Amino acid sequence: MGKTEEEDRSEKILETEPRNVEALKVIVHGKMRIGKTKAAVEYVERLIDIEPKEVEWRLLQALCYELTGQLSKAKRLFKEILKKRPLLLRDLHVWGELEEGLKKFQVLGISVLTFALFECSC
């Protein structure tokens, strides 16, 4: 499973517009889709740099850490996120009811479940 046409277009866009959020999102999701999670981290960090208040990017960063076995980093990020946004778990459930939210929740759902497991084991 390789890159899609959309990913190729997004990479070309980033050559001239390195802060294009939509193109960065396409690349992150594409890399994660094919299991290149470590490579996705670079793009997630760029998204965080561009939109530091966007919680989705922090959750994606935590998910990347989780998937690459860096569980203590993932746990720390989840705790930081929930400290700032204590209603986040409830928000994600509501978010999941929306069509666009479903796509995001599929990516983030693993992280939310893992965080819940971390909290239960602490």
Which residue, 116, 117, 104, 114, is CA-closest to 55? 104
Alpha carbons 84 and 121: distance in angstroms, whole number:
21
Alpha carbons 2 and 20: distance in angstroms, whole number:
22
Give the pLDDT of residue 91.
Answer: 53
Alpha carbons 111 and 75: distance in angstroms, whole number:
9
Q: What angle do CA 113, 86, 117 make, to 5 degrees?
A: 20
DSSP letter at 44?
A: H
Q: pLDDT tens digits for 41-87? A: 999 999 999 999 998 898 889 888 888 989 888 888 888 887 787 66
What are the two backbone dihedrals, phi and then psi, of residue 101, each rounded to the nearest 5 degrees? Answer: -60, -35
Give the pLDDT of residue 94.
Answer: 47
Instruction: Judge contact between 55 and 83, C-beta under 8 A.
Output: no
Q: Which residues contact 115 (CB under 8 A, 6 or more apart)?
A: 62, 75, 78, 82
> Is pLDDT of 19 > 90?
yes
